[in-house]
Amino acid sequence: MIHGLPSMKSIKSLKSLVKRKTNAQEVSKSGWKMKPFLALMCTALLIFWYKTTNIQFEQTEIEETDYPFDMAKESEAVNDKLKGLPRGIIQSRSDLELKPLWSRGSLRSKGVEMTNRNLLAIPVGLKQKGNVDALVKKFLPANFTIVLFHYDGNMDKWWDLEWSSKAIHIVAQNQTKWWFAKRFLHPDVVSIYDYIFLWDEDLGVENFNPERYLKIVKSVGLEISQPALDHNSTEIHHKITLRSKTKKFHRRVYINRGHKRCSNTSSDPPCTGFVEGMAPVFSKAAWLCTWNLIQNDLVHGWGMDMKLGYCAQGDRTKNVGIVDSEYILHQGIQTLGESVPEKKV
């Protein structure tokens, strides 16, 4: 070995050191290249977290206006059951407003004024799809919440309607309107709504406007009501439901012939205080009573109309009535029974 020249071992060590430094520099450069991407990802996550939290906070504020945490008016029975919960956490009311995960949920949070919130619930079968479509389109402009009770199980064939994704769909095979109402329209769930429309699917609404209808109902203090039936309706079971062309609304009917006579002194249905089961409209207070009146095994609801006066929140002869100026056509199509409609007056 010549003195003054590096040995082979030293040269290898030097090369190894240079290589390590080069690798470290490359890793360092690669790390610097990754930092902007990581910073961008962190920023995006922070923005997402902030917006999500802010939306949840705003939604909570909106809901608190409907259901204040101070539940002073709660019944004693409910309070007894919830004694273990701390004050300020109880929220015993709900609604049927859709609240998707990717948005603020209800119409109110999207800037739509919902001072008057109402609900339309209809039992539906696929054979009446066209009629139901026309019916629902009358109610949607008035910001109604729509609930469809699918008694034939064919829910998937309704998605082609433009409003279908905005409705609540409930499916139970071969069940009737009152069965659905008892199980899915509990007063604590629908307490946000001022009026509950529990209608059949075979109603023509060409001459009906829900906003004008409710204006009349509120002005005359009807707790339970229904639109009058057009004279061309297929089925008219009681004369009191028949439309009067000269009145805006009426509370009683006058009959001077036959075995049933109705006069000013009559105080029982169907002379007064009566609406039929195909298109009843209930105030919030009247529905609370009616829901408790519905028997758990009630199927067709026959005879139910004669008892609704108990839920009139007072005098049935004053608080129950028929609106003549906004009327409907009852087509009398019994899709569950598959019977052929026959005109009956």
Q: What is the pLDDT of residues 287-326, one digit of tens each?
A: 999 999 999 888 777 788 999 999 999 999 999 999 999 9
Q: What is the mean pLDDT of residues 138-153?
A: 94
Q: How far is CA 157 from the centre of its chain?
A: 20
Q: Please tell me the predicted confidence (pLDDT) of residue 145.
A: 94
Q: What is the mean pLDDT of residues 199-216?
A: 96
d(CA 5, CA 14): 14
Query: Which stretches does DSSP call E strand in 239-319?
Result: 249-250, 281-283
Lowest average pLDDT, out of 111-115, 125-129, 226-230, goes to 111-115
Mean per-residue pLDDT of the chain: 81
Nearest Cα neighbor of 177 from 136, 221, 139, 120 is 120
Band of the pLDDT at 48, cuts 50, 70, 90?
Answer: confident
Q: Please tell me the predicted confidence (pLDDT) of residue 116.
A: 67
Residue 230, pLDDT > 80, answer: yes
In the numeric block, which tokens belong to residue 99?
A: 């609240």
Among residues of the chain, what percentage have pLDDT more than 90? 52
Residue 53, pLDDT > 80, answer: no
Q: What is the mean pLDDT of residues 238-267?
A: 90
Band of the pLDDT at 71, cuts 50, 70, 90?
Answer: very low
List pLDDT tens digits, range 160-191.
999 999 999 999 999 999 999 999 999 999 99
Q: Please tell me the predicted confidence (pLDDT) of residue 109.
A: 46
Helices marked H in the chain: 8-66, 76-81, 129-139, 177-184, 210-220, 284-293, 304-307, 316-319
- Distances in Å between the Cα of 274 and the Cα atoms of 27, 249, 279, 312, 315 are 85, 13, 12, 10, 12
Lowest average pLDDT, out of 61-75, 141-155, 294-308, goes to 61-75
pTM of model > 0.75: no
Q: Please tell me the predicted confidence (pLDDT) of residue 78.
A: 56
Q: Please tell me the predicted confidence (pLDDT) of residue 61.
A: 58
